Amino acid sequence: MLIWPTYPNMGIDSRNQFDWIRDMPGGLNGVKKMVAQFHRRGVRVLFPYNPWDIGTHREADPDPDAMARILKYVNADGINADTSPGLGEHWREVFDNAKKGLVIEPEGDDINYVEYDQMGWNYGFIYANYPFIPPVIKEKWLEPRHMVHVCNRWAHDHTNDLQYAFFNGVGFETWENVWGIYNEMTPRAAQTVKIISNIYQHFYELLTGTGWLPHYPMLNYGVFASKWSGRDSTLWTIINRNDFDVDGVQMKVSGQEGVSYYDVWHGQKLIPIHEGGNEALSFKIGRRGYAAILEIKDSFINSSFRSFLAQMHDLTKRELSSYNNKWEPLPQRIVEIERTEPAVSCPKGMIRIPGARYVMNVSGIEIEGGENPGVDVQMPGEKIARRHHCFMVNIPTFYMDKYPVTNAEFKKFMDVTHYAPRDTIDFLRDWKGGTYPEGWGDKPVTWVDISDARAYAKWAGKRLPHEWEWQYAAEGLDGRLYPWGNKWNPADVPVPDTTHKLRGADDVNAHPKGKSPFGVEDMVGNVWQWTDEYVDSHTRVAVIRGGSYYQPQGSYWYFPQAYKLNEHGKYLLMSPGYNRSGTIGFRCVKDITNH
């Protein structure tokens, strides 16, 4: 299990990759408990290492030591080295000194690092467009214990991935939640993983031994096999690359006394046909399917093996071809925002936004995902989540805060209500002794989760805005790119902070020339602002608007800015302490009618 709390949120503020682990639910102690739960179920746990994270706050120790210290504390099992071909001898030494057995799994899986890295991802087959004849994974060939995971995160059909993994006796990255973009495996792919996993777990000694012979000769065109020889048994992992079933005699083996043959994929014994000194084996392989054949000494057939055969029989009694292999995007829903009590008159500090029939046109700025279905969010009226959105919406007249909620305003709320969230990680992190730093009263309050913002809004008799309300209040009806017009003007927003530590936002009233056509200020470039939340059966995300003053340097992979009014940020939500950020604030709205 690879637990990934960093990208794509990292870069929203100055928290580094280690901070994001510390901010997971329950802090490091909570992470330690989570790892222990996985271990009780026999699951190993990895965390990411992002070598490109060089623009956020720096640790006192070098990255290898900082990473090793966290892994040791939470009793995790290793790392996935994001974007890296390998980490090398020093990392190996630091990890070995910290905790025995810590694994390094680079994304690139460079052959030059095999002696240091026990695992790796493999994209090679994807880039080669999956040739009909399966190539051999060279890292596995050189070091049979090296565990490779074939990775194809955006694929909707994983048949090629699983076939090539099975031929090479390596793993497959069952990656469904691609950083908040849910790419669910089809029923056929999921069932294939269950079957292959059962085979791998039973025959791990053969699959990591020195007796691998790829491309064992098979009799039928398009059927390919690897032979895994051991002292008392031999396994063949076989794939059918044809788009049709292949039945009948498939392979010949040298005849031996005192051995039996099994179709372990289906959990049944095979009766060989004698041909001189050879034995011919007949079995069926479905179209684009799999087979696993075992030769075993009769003296080594025991109750454990019979139990395994029974499990395999149950797993495969339904033909793999009968499972649906059609991918469907996971539906999302928007979290309802309850309307406020109607305002009798314009509340202090708010601006009237006249009702309109408004064309909402906005796109997500996710770095990855392209135009895949499921990217970004599923707005009302849309059939699937997607990156680009355009629809008509009737917006009733409402009031909007002229400025984002300030530290001073939030302190009034705290003083009156004694609000105390259950999860206090990073809550009002800039504050000390129950108040904000001197001179920060007019700065937007930050380090508040969307739930904290909702609590304030409810107390104030207001609510958070829907995204289309926020965008309409920012641009009016002329589709401008920025609140002040179509040309970017650096003087109308804060000077970017490109350092390793947040300096703090500007006062909310510091840039009056950046106001919108309705007179709403501080909408772009100071702090992001909470709007709508979307959920599916696995993931929560919030749409944040306006961008911020913080721009960490040195990497393309940091959370991108969205200063243009036709762009929004998609921010993954996990828990209040994880969600809170030094660059996300909020403003409120109030309804004029109750419908």
Give the per-residue pLDDT at 275.
86
How many contiguous H segments (helices) and E segments (strands) does the chain have? 14, 27
User: Which structure tokens are listed for 140?
Assistant: 């596995």
Q: What is the pLDDT of residues 226-263, one digit of tens each?
A: 999 999 999 999 999 999 999 999 999 998 899 999 99
- Whether 554 shows a pLDDT value over 80: the answer reads yes
- Whether 355 shows a pLDDT value over 70: the answer reads yes
Q: What is the mean pLDDT of the chain?
A: 96
- Output DSSP code: residue 127: H
Choose the CATH number for 333-591 among 3.90.1580.10, 3.40.50.1820, 3.30.200.20, 3.30.1180.20.
3.90.1580.10
Give the per-residue pLDDT at 256.
86
Give the per-residue pLDDT at 379.
97
Could you tell me if 397 and 594 are in contact, meaning their C-beta atoms sit under 8 angstroms apart? no
Could you tell me if 519 and 316 are in contact, meaning their C-beta atoms sit under 8 angstroms apart? no
Helix axes of 63-74 and 89-98: crossing angle, nearest 10 degrees: 30
Q: What is the pLDDT of residues 78-89, one digit of tens each?
A: 999 999 999 999
Q: What is the pLDDT of residues 470-528, one digit of tens each?
A: 999 999 999 999 999 999 999 999 999 999 999 999 999 999 999 999 999 999 999 99
Q: How far apart are CA 466 and CA 499, in angstroms?
A: 32
Q: How far apart are CA 569 and CA 9, in angstroms?
A: 10
Q: Across-strand partners of 529?
A: 545, 585
Q: What is the pLDDT of residues 255-294, one digit of tens each?
A: 889 999 999 999 999 999 998 889 999 999 999 999 999 9
Q: Is 293 helix (H, G, I), strand (E, B) or coil?
A: strand
Give the per-residue pLDDT at 473.
98
> Which residues fall within 8 angstroms of residue 175, CB to CB, at 6 or more apart?
151, 153, 183
Q: How far apart are CA 313 and CA 307, in angstroms?
A: 10
Phi and psi, residue 584, nearest 5°: -115, 120
User: Which structure tokens are listed for 375?
Assistant: 């990217």
Phi and psi, residue 356, nearest 5°: -160, 160
Q: How far apart are CA 50 and CA 107, in angstroms?
A: 10
> Which residues fall within 8 angstroms of residue 525, CB to CB, at 6 or more apart?
492, 493, 494, 511, 514, 546, 547, 548, 549, 563
Q: How far apart are CA 55 and CA 60, in angstroms?
A: 15
Over residues 451-465, the mean pLDDT reads 98
Could you tell me if 37 and 75 are in contact, meaning their C-beta atoms sit under 8 angstroms apart? no
Give the per-residue pLDDT at 595.
63
Q: How far apart are CA 348 and CA 330, in angstroms?
A: 43
Over residues 424-450, the mean pLDDT reads 98
Give the per-residue pLDDT at 594.
67
**Three-state secondary structure string covering 454-517:** HHHHHHCCCECCCHHHHHHHHHCCCCCCECCECCCCHHHCCCCECCCCCCCCCCCCCCHHHCCC
User: Which structure tokens are listed for 494?
Assistant: 């804060």
% pLDDT > 90, the chain? 96
Q: What is the pLDDT of residues 3-12, one digit of tens each?
A: 999 999 999 9
Confidence of residue 363 (pLDDT cuts 50, 70, 90): very high
User: Which structure tokens are listed for 418?
Assistant: 């004694």
Q: How far apart are CA 67 and CA 103, in angstroms?
A: 12
Could you tell me if 36 and 69 are in contact, meaning their C-beta atoms sit under 8 angstroms apart? no
> Which residues fall within 8 angstroms of residue 172, CB to CB, at 6 or more apart?
149, 150, 158, 161, 162, 165, 193, 196
- Whether 368 shows a pLDDT value over 80: the answer reads yes
Over residues 164-193, the mean pLDDT reads 95
Give the per-residue pLDDT at 322.
96
